[in-house]
Amino acid sequence: MSKLFTPIKIKNLDLKNRIVMAPMCQFSADEKGFVQNWHFIHYSSRAIGGVGLILLEATAVDPNGRIMVGDLGIWDDQHIAGLKSIVDECKKYGAKIGIQLFHAGRKCTAPEKESVAPSPIAFSEKYAVPHELTKEEIKEIVVAFRLAAKRSLGAGFDTIEIHGAHGYLIHQFLSPLSNLRKDEYGGSAENRVRFLREILEAVREVWDKRKALLLRVSAEDYAEGGNTSEDTAYLINLVKEYEIDLVNVSSGAIVPAEINVYPGYQITFSEIIRDLTGLPTIAGGLITSPLMAEEILCNQRGDLIFIGRDLLRNPYWPLYAAKALDVEMEWPNQYRGARL
């Protein structure tokens, strides 16, 4: 049996295969963050295509936490119904589905308010200098994550992924390149991880402990003085007691940087974090070949594989992968004629 198509269970998250649809921003919500028909079709087609775990795009816990207008929102109870419609449809086809909760911090370009960050440092000259969050404002954002997790439960999501990567607010606290605070939220690793710890603690107050909780990280900052994979593993170890069940390993985007991108360029980061934390990982980064995905899993370089661009090009990538690996998998009845 192919490892890619071997089921895996993490708490009560029971996946039929190891294929994960990476969270990918669609920027197709309305100006108030509501689900549109595009989202319904986009996600349900990947469920029909056989993806084991679908992770919804970055969904903002606050209107001031969007990357831009067009991001999905979960800062209002009224968002629940639209999100639930996606969840219910995807589950009809045997997929599990999670939501990625995030706050863009200094990368927010939505027009509501000025952007915020741990320190008043712009991402680049193209971005505004953000407002430095007060301790009271930090607490308010932690509450926003807790309320978003409660709404996620109401919408029926199987899992939550906390977005601590790609230069967004949690990552801004974690990285010494963007966090120059002198209080208990800055300086040492133990202080820089405090914001994430408080979010995890708040989310676990409302998120069923039987349900898996994911964390996405940027393992490497790709800049002198930034976090390395070993640093990121250390930060995860400081908070994994809050029942982080799976780490989604990505990299970069805390500062503009030259990144040598090639097929599998992030897999070593997954190996390091998996080894140093003892936690299962989702590995990926320009993975297009089913054979490459199989190698990563069989050599214990990751426990699941996230697929991004290839699932944009081909919603039925799992069906193609099964054929390439000579695996018998359940096809939609309407497509069974293509199995030959």
42 as an active site residue: the answer is: no
Among 42, 43, 168, 185, the active-site one is 168
Among 39, 79, 163, 171, the active-site one is 163
Q: Note whether 107 and 115 are within 8 A (CB).
A: yes
Among 166, 222, 242, 316, the active-site one is 166
335 as an active site residue: the answer is: no
166 as an active site residue: the answer is: yes
Please list the active-site residues.
Answer: 163, 166, 168
